Amino acid sequence: MWCVCMRPQQRHRCRPWEMQVMREPDPAWSRNRLRSCEGSETLRFAPARMACELIRFMSPDDANIAGNVHGGTILKMIEEAGAIISTRHCNSQPGEPCVAALARVERTDFLSPMCIGEVATVSAEITYTSKRSVEVQVNVLSENILTGAKKVTNRATLWYVPLSLKNVDKVLEVPPVQYMRKEQEEEGKKRYEQQKLERLETKQRNGDMIFPVINPGVTMKLMDEVAGIVAARHCKTNIVTASVDAINFHEKIKKGCVITISGRMTFTSNKSMEIEVFVDADPFVDEPQERYRAVSAFFTYVSLSKEGKPLPVPQLVTETEDEKKRFEEGKGRYLQTKAKRQVHLQPLAQQ
């Protein structure tokens, strides 16, 4: 469990020599966003395709003792790339200036571990727009700079909504995107309707709405660290993130809040562990409101040997009725996503 005070001073800073901008987009917001990025990164933009690339060298600070890059580090890069391209698109036409806020992260698969010394390339592209939301699909590629070998490590889908800079509670309309084929728009609409249904299920389960959040990358990274601690304590081996189920943002986390991040194991298969992670916010400064649930998600981890081979996972012992119920629900998600993964990952396996 982690407790973190979200203070206004806790903003990213980067030294000017740590970033190279290959092509800077026109809106002023993007220049500010680039200055706020952290680490040794390169950003590339392709305006015609509404896509961008974020490139970063993986340092020892990004990885665990076994040399595997933390899943939270990758999640943070994925969100940053998505926020940049979606905010840029939402400001591509004259109108009220806005910033794209993350509303939902679809399931994210970690196809292969990334290691210290490799270069991560995060490619984000807008694939669908509704009246008030933007779908961004992200792929992560790792490169061994010694051998030149490359491999796809991650794939994710994120949904953003544009919030007015004058009133962050006001959701603006999204400029339409041009599709090369009619089928692309139809497929995007199907994905949009599907995620709306899944958000409705989340609302019914948690009793709340889904709110867009600005700059959630730090929170997502901390959630992965907490889940990793739970997984490591369970199997006592090197562990890596295998996938992240939909990350839902139930309430906004305001400045001055203390957030408590907790995780609990809900299900184990022969070679994987599911950990449910919660982020609770405690607004103790000038706020009479009690602690509330801000974010929730399911993380899946696998256990690895020193050679990087999958190891059997100790089975989770359930005692109470609630634990048994959560185990069965986790088993259902495991079987469902296992079937879907075989379909979605076939194109990636051919790359």
Domains of the chain: total: 2
**Residues 6+ positions from 108 with CB-CB distance below 8 Å:** 75, 78, 154, 155, 156, 243, 244
Same domain for 263 and 328? yes
* pLDDT of 200: 65
Kindly state whether residues 86 and 136 are assigned to the same domain.
Answer: yes
Q: What is the pLDDT of residue 313?
A: 95
Are residue 169 and residue 254 in the same domain, yes or no?
A: no
Query: How many helices and strands (H and E) does the chain possess?
Result: 6, 14
| Boundary-marking domain end, from 148, 183, 218 | 183
Handedness of CA 193, 198, 204, 207 (dihedral sign): negative
Q: Are strands 247-249 and 98-105 parallel, antiparallel or unpaired?
A: antiparallel
Helix (H, G, I), strand (E, B) or coil at 32: helix
Is residue 16 a part of any domain in this protein?
A: no
The per-residue pLDDT for 45 is 38
Give phi and psi for 164, each to the nearest 5.
-65, 140
Query: Is residue 224 flagged as an active site residue?
Result: yes
Q: Which residues of the chain have pLDDT under 50?
A: 2-49, 204, 206-209, 348
Residue 341, in any domain of the structure: no
Q: How far is CA 141 from CA 53, 56, 83, 152, 263, in A?
A: 10, 11, 19, 4, 29
Looking at residue 84, its pLDDT comes to 93
- Kindly state whether residues 249 and 316 are assigned to the same domain: yes
Query: What local confidence, expressed as pLDDT, does residue 345 receive?
Result: 52
Residue 47: the pLDDT is 39
Identify which of 79, 31, 97 has the alpha carbon closest to the alpha carbon of residue 212.
79
Question: What is the predicted pLDDT for the residue at 195?
Answer: 80
- Confidence (pLDDT) at 32: 42
Dist. CA 116–CA 300, nearest whole Å: 22
Assigned domain for 11 exists: no
pLDDT at residue 1 in the model: 53
Say if CB 192 and CB 133 are below 8 A apart.
yes
Instruction: Out of 91, 109, 154, 224, pick the active-site residue.
Output: 224
pLDDT at 315: 95
Residue 22 has what pLDDT? 30
pLDDT value of residue 350 = 53
Task: Give the CATH number of the domain where residue 175 resides.
Answer: 3.10.129.10
Q: Which residues of 1-13 are buried (b: 16+ CB within 10 A; e: fewer)?
A: eeebebeeeeeee
215 tagged catalytic: no
Q: Which domain holds residue 255?
A: 210-334
Of 183, 218, 251, the residue that ends a domain is: 183
For residue 139, give the H/E element and its range. strand 134-144
Q: Which pLDDT score, from 0 to 100, does residue 46 have?
A: 39
Nearest 5°: CA angle at 117, between 226 and 146? 150
Residue 285 lies in a domain: yes
Mean model confidence pLDDT for the chain: 80
165 and 214 co-located in one domain: no
Q: Are 227 and 290 in contact (CB under 8 A)?
A: no
pLDDT tens digit string along 105-132?
A: 888 888 888 999 999 999 999 999 999 9
Residues 6+ apart with CB under 8 A from 8: 255
In a domain? residue 242 = yes
Whole-number Å distance between alpha carbons of 142 and 204: 38
Q: How many C-beta atoms surround the C-beta of residue 217 within 10 A? A: 21
Q: pLDDT tens digit string along 236-270? A: 999 999 999 888 888 878 777 888 999 999 999 99
| One domain for residues 246 and 326 | yes
Say what the pLDDT of residue 131 is.
Answer: 92
**Contact in structure between 216 and 244 (CB atoms under 8 Å):** no
**Same domain membership, residue 251 and residue 176:** no
Q: What is the pLDDT of residue 299?
A: 95
CA geometry: angle at 105 spanning 305 and 311, to 5°? 10
Same domain? 159 vs 237:
no
CA separation for the pair 44, 187 (Å, rounded)? 27
One domain for residues 175 and 298:
no
